[in-house]
Amino acid sequence: MAILRIVSRGLDRETYDVMRARLHLDREHPLGLIMHGVSEKDGRVQVAQIWDSEEYAQRFDEELLAPIIQAVGASSSAEVTTYELEDLITP
């Protein structure tokens, strides 16, 4: 079942941009990723993602994101809120 994740790692925009450049999400989509969006709240970045399943999201976190977090010296802790989507329409 598709999920929506809202992720807050306490990253500032500069750190997020460095991580985004290393991930290449705009050109290399991880398996299972449907949508990735970002907004800024109180000087900190929040990410919204839609995944085909929780398993794909976890694989992304472990295999792709964790090494980049470590490389840039960002905190590995995050506030993650996950919702199962009952209905998803993509035009």
With beta carbons less than 8 A apart as the criterion, state whether 17 and 26 touch: no
Structure confidence at residue 90 as a pLDDT band (50, 70, 90)? confident
**pLDDT tens for each residue of 3-16:** 999 999 999 999 99
Please list, in sequence order, all residues whose beta carbon lies within 8 angstroms of the beta carbon of residue 1, skipping any fewer than 6 positions away. Answer: 53, 84, 85
Arithmetic mean of pLDDT, 64-70: 97
pLDDT of 49 over the 90 cut? yes
Q: Which CATH number fits domain 3-84: 3.40.190.10, 3.30.110.30, 3.30.9.10, 3.30.70.100?
A: 3.30.70.100
pLDDT given for residue 12 in this prediction: 95
Can you tell me the distance from the alpha carbon of 75 to that of 20, in angstroms, rounded to the nearest whole number? 15
Q: Tell me which amino acid residue 27 is.
A: R
Structure confidence at residue 30 as a pLDDT band (50, 70, 90)? very high
